Structure 1
Amino acid sequence: MAHIQRISATEELKNLAISRIYLDNFEHITAYWVSLGLPVAQLALSYGVDDLHGTIMEERIFHMAGAVTPQKQTVASLKNAICETGRIPVERDSFYRHIGQH
């Protein structure tokens, strides 16, 4: 599978935007910053995404597969990334219930 090229950031964003349109019965669309990279995940918030997934500490699966993104993000760095996009960070649980606003 090493011969298969990763899709471009433009294609990633296009897929997320189309997902928001076609999956209108899904309440939330998530950008997984580990696979996208934080800058593209930030852009994704303007392409229909309403959730940046996780403050994952030491993500391993994507990195074993060759990901070059950071292995972890702190709560503070994710808050900052969300605020940089002009949005308000809201902490949630696994069921998307709000547990805090920052």
Structure 2
Amino acid sequence: MLTQEQIEAVAAEFDLDEEELGEAVLDACHRAASDRYNSGAAQDLDDEDAHELLHGQADRQASDISNGGPGALISFLAQYCTTQDELRRLLGGLAS
């Protein structure tokens, strides 16, 4: 896991658009929701209700993270990276 200092050092290399960061966080939250759904989360609900519940939670999570500003968005995305180079590649893909 990267330290906050490492995250900030890599983020400083890029001129990132907050909207693009927000979209990347929203995508990551929905991928996690899909994984939970496919793993049988909310089994007590029918498929449609389970899908709606889990993806609604993903929307709220992404919104909460976005409300924290660019630093919160980058920190959230960084949790999926184990090295500064991985984070650099991820952020570089958003910046281009």
**Greater fraction of residues in strand:** 1
**Structure having the higher Rg:** 2
**Greater fraction of residues in helix:** 2
TM-score for the superposition, normalised by structure 2? 0.27
Relative contact order higher in (CA < 8 Å, ≥ 6 apart): 2
